[in-house]
Amino acid sequence: MKKLWSNEKIRIIFFYALLTVILTWPFAWNFFSSVPSLGSDTMQVIGVAGERMNVLKDLGVFKGSVELMKRSEFNIVTLYAFFQLIFGRIAGYNLLFFASFVLSGFGMYLLAYYFTKSKPASLIAGIIFAFLPFHVHNSLSTNVGTMHQEWLPFFALYLFRFFDNLKAKNFLLAGLFLGLIAFTEHQLFAFTLIFVSFFVVFKIFTQPRIFLKRKFWLYAVVSFVVLSAVSLFMFRSLFEIAFSGNNYLDPGFKAAVKYSNDALSVFVPPNFHSFWPGAFSGLRETFERRTDSSFSAYVGFLVLLLSAAAFFRDRVSKKWFWLAVAIGFYVLSLGPHLHFKGELDPPVKMPYLLAYEYLPFFNNIRTVGRLFVFSAVAFSVLAAWGSAYVILKIRNKREEIKNELLNGDISKSEQVDIFGSNRGQKILFFAVSAVIILEFLAIPVKTNSLLHSSFYEKLGQEKEDYNILEVPGSTDYDFASRDLVWKSIHRKNTINGYDFARVIDDHYTFQRGTPVIRTLLYDIPEGNEKQNDRDIMKDSYYKISNEILNYYNIRYVVLDKEGLKGNPEKGDADQFYSARAYAQNVLKCKSEFEDDFLFACEVSRDAAPRHMFVAMDYSNKHWVGKDKGKDGIRRWAESGAGVKIVNMSPEPQEGKFNFKVKLYKPIRVIALLNGAPVFDKYITQFSEKTYVSVDISGIKSGENEIIFEVRAANGLEIRSEKKSDVATIYDVEVEAKK
């Protein structure tokens, strides 16, 4: 142990570990009982990691890893899955959270020491990088890319070292850490490639001859080939989506503007500061996004002063490089349009607009403000130079130590205490560190103990394959995030679903269009089950609710009390009691379970599915508008609009298809069942409703498509978004033949 402690790097790691315990309190105290978390994104990471852990557990570590690679899911979240498998759900997460701070500090120490040869100054740089509000916020919010920023200083260090001597060791280590950055997050990887472009331009001006060496170009070709192969392997699913006709990764230009930093953010302390959260609150209110994320890009006034002090002594080219990175990435993080106390009007175009429009895939990046992570690296390095300058101004008792530090003699400087060579330097080190820590302090950090109902463990023990429906799993971001964790516990398929950062077109059309399921997932949580749950259908199908649930193999309907309680401050009513009343009075519960967390209705399986019902097809783009009358919702149908008839019986059925139509000019209306016409009439009566009832046969088991063709007198299909040009359809129903 004594020999281990004699290793200086071990002592430095211990120093950052101790600081992490203090500056993330009470995280360490609750290490085995709760996770540090500011909100829902933490639950998403733990939940997805839990699902991948189940794959590893079911298939074994090797086969499970291969399976995750096939799915293009072998990334940082999979590392969380391995840690969950080994250490448990909470401790596994906490170990990686802890490591992100310790390794950020240690990596920055090594990078800063490479430039300054000053141990206390390098320690200060590590404190800045590890505990900057930007990193603290992203770690507590579990934005995994910028949370796991720890590989950035290691990569920068070995990139500089490689250009010093073109040695294979440094090339391989730089490649290793670049690979770890890619493994962490594709977005962080993209940011790193911009950093590399800064670096290459810098070297063209300062080391032009290195680009004439054959050895350099050999390494460059190898880098390009390996980088391309790694990118295609790790991000192939993202490439497929990006080049598809439905690139849902693109959040749109407005998102790039919205999720950018304000120009004043580096000067404004965050609202989660321990002692003065209200400071500058009036200024923060002027920001476009008044969230913790927008307020976290605070550098600290002392850090800015130390960064300026870096240029009081030798103005070496490397300092100018890091200044360019600090300012360059800060400007890029402001997004495509300048924000100064909010977005300016008219918009002022910013450099990131070029990246958005011309760099591949940058239009898919939503959280542009996270580009600030490289500004954090750069400000930390500059502050190390500034700290070294200030520390060296303290006169040493031993002139030889002073000279050795000034001359950058590494072999001798190893003998110097990491906190300084004399008492004056040590006092200054601790004073500077204390002020920086005071500026950044954000304790106590919030924690989440992941408390949940024992009902989920009960489901996890049942081996039978069935679905569950959880409310409000399709409307509430927070519950949908928590539900990913619960899903990794009970391991049943859930009918509910939620799109988080990206909305996928027509992703949940089944849930939105299917009666009863729609009522449970959307109408009850939104408090409008009595007004909207029929849409244009004549019936809500409450009488056959259990048949519908059984048809889709839904065994349990689960109502989450926290998710349904509403928010009185926003005027949201508590929907739990109305949801429970619906479950108890409309559904037939074979059994009920209730605790402090949820109410669960086990759906009775007595009702064998045999009826038919009409479901709205929300994926159909020919419903061009809607209004509401005394009969409920009425939709405007251009030619091609459609609904679905679902025959739950295993046998084909016959029946009647009924609907009402209202026109504003003579129109020919045709109804087709699975492509075959069942109704065709030129309707001349307009401004009044027309009731249509047609006999239909050959309604096959399962889904059947009804398409409405709307044609003019000359037979041409009508495609228009004007209500007066198309057919208004409502009160749609299907009746089985008696």
Nearest Cα neighbor of 671 from 660, 681, 684 is 681
- Angle at which helices 372-393 and 133-140 cross, to 10°: 140
Q: Which H or E run contains 53?
A: helix 40-59
Q: Which H or E run contains 653?
A: strand 653-662
Angstrom CA distances, 590 to 171, 600, 602, stand at 65, 11, 5
Do the strands 623-629 and 632-637 form a parallel or antiparallel pair, or are they unpaired?
antiparallel
Report DSSP letters for 310-325, one per residue: TTSS---HHHHHHHHH
- Angle at which helices 89-116 and 372-393 cross, to 10°: 50
What CA–CA distance (Å, rounded) separates 569 from 573?
10
Would you place residue 734 in the very low, low, confident or very high pLDDT band (cuts 50, 70, 90)?
Answer: very high
Q: Which is more confidently placed, 734 or 249?
A: 734
Angstrom CA distances, 17 to 24, 134, 160, stand at 11, 19, 27
Task: For 410, list phi and psi in degrees, rounded to 5.
Answer: -65, -40
Q: Which is more confidently placed, 316 or 141?
A: 141
Task: For 504, list phi and psi in degrees, rounded to 5.
Answer: -95, 125
Token digits for 169?
């060791």
Nearest Cα neighbor of 256 from 345, 350, 147, 193 is 350
For residue 503, the model assigns a pLDDT of 81
Residues 6+ apart with CB under 8 A from 614: 515, 537, 643, 644, 645, 646, 706, 732, 733, 734
Instruction: Identify whether the C-beta of residue 337 lies closer than 8 Å to the C-beta of residue 344.
Output: yes
Token digits for 153?
């200083």
Q: Count of residues for the chain?
A: 738
For residue 242, the model assigns a pLDDT of 82
Radius of gyration over every alpha carbon of the chain, rounded to an integer in angstroms: 31
Cα dihedral sign, 94-96-101-106: positive
pLDDT in tens, 402-456: 444 444 443 344 445 676 666 777 888 899 999 999 999 999 999 999 999 999 9
Token digits for 336?
């495509």
Residues 6+ apart with CB under 8 A from 340: 262, 263, 264
- Res 125 pLDDT > 60: yes
For residue 276, the model assigns a pLDDT of 81
pLDDT in tens, 35-49: 999 888 999 999 999
For residue 412, the model assigns a pLDDT of 44
Q: Taking residues 175-204, report their average pLDDT.
A: 95
- Res 566 pLDDT > 50: yes
Task: For 670, list phi and psi in degrees, rounded to 5.
Answer: -125, 135
- Which of 303-312, 450-459, 636-645, 679-688 is least confident? 679-688
Amino acid at 4: L
Nearest Cα neighbor of 527 from 468, 606, 472, 584 is 472
- Which of 268-272, 325-329, 491-495 is least confident? 268-272
- Which of 186-200, 246-260, 326-340, 508-522 is least confident? 246-260
Report DSSP letters for 451-511, one per residue: ---THHHHHHH--S--EEEEETTTT-HHHHHHHHHHHHHH--EES-----SSPPTTTTHHH
Q: Taking residues 51-74, report their average pLDDT.
A: 93
Share of the chain above pLDDT 90, in %: 68
Average pLDDT score, the chain:
89
Nearest Cα neighbor of 77 from 110, 103, 50 is 50
Q: Taking residues 228-239, report their average pLDDT.
A: 87
Residues 6+ apart with CB under 8 A from 135: 100, 101, 104, 129, 146, 147, 149, 376
Three-state DSSP class for 251?
coil
Token digits for 81?
């899955």
Nearest Cα neighbor of 589 from 566, 606, 565, 608 is 606
Q: Taking residues 39-68, report their average pLDDT.
A: 94
The three-point CA angle 577-583-588 to 5° equals 150
For residue 725, give the DSSP letter: G
CATH topology assigned to domain 612-736: Jelly Rolls (2.60.120)
- Res 488 pLDDT > 60: yes
Would you place residue 294 in the very low, low, confident or very high pLDDT band (cuts 50, 70, 90)?
Answer: confident
**3-class secondary structure per residue, 661-721:** EECCCCEEEEEEECCEEEEEEEECCCCCEEEEEEEEEEECCEEEEEEEEEECCCCCECCCC
The three-point CA angle 340-342-344 to 5° equals 70
Q: Which H or E run contains 5?
A: helix 2-5
For residue 530, the model assigns a pLDDT of 53
Instruction: Identify whether the C-beta of residue 204 lies closer than 8 Å to the C-beta of residue 212.
Output: no
- Which of 148-162, 472-486, 584-598, 684-698 is least confident? 684-698
For residue 158, the model assigns a pLDDT of 98
Nearest Cα neighbor of 547 from 605, 501, 492, 496 is 605
Token digits for 687?
């401004």
Would you place residue 290 in the very low, low, confident or very high pLDDT band (cuts 50, 70, 90)?
Answer: low
For residue 421, the model assigns a pLDDT of 63
pTM to 2 decimal places? 0.90
What CA–CA distance (Å, rounded) separates 154 from 318?
17
Q: Is 417 exposed, middle or buried (0-12, 13-18, 19+ CB in 10 A)?
A: middle
Instruction: Among 311-320, 572-581, 665-674, name the most confident range.
Output: 665-674
Token digits for 139?
């770690």
Beta bridge partners of 703: 646
Q: How far apart are the first and last CA of the chain?
A: 86
Would you list the domain boundaries of the chain? 2-440, 458-603, 612-736
Q: Taking residues 321-325, report their average pLDDT.
A: 96
Nearest Cα neighbor of 497 from 477, 515, 516 is 477
- Angle at which helices 372-393 and 301-309 cross, to 10°: 60
Share of the chain above pLDDT 70, in %: 94
Q: Which H or E run contains 180?
A: helix 168-184
The three-point CA angle 281-283-286 to 5° equals 110
Report DSSP letters for 82-127, one per residue: HHHHHH-HHHHHHHHHHHHHHHHHHHHHHHHHHHH--HHHHHHHHH
Q: Taking residues 129-153, report their average pLDDT.
A: 94
The three-point CA angle 18-20-26 to 5° equals 105
pLDDT in tens, 498-523: 988 888 888 899 999 999 999 999 99
- Which of 310-319, 375-384, 510-519, 600-609 is least confident? 310-319
For residue 233, the model assigns a pLDDT of 87
Angstrom CA distances, 453 to 565, 597, 716, stand at 17, 6, 59
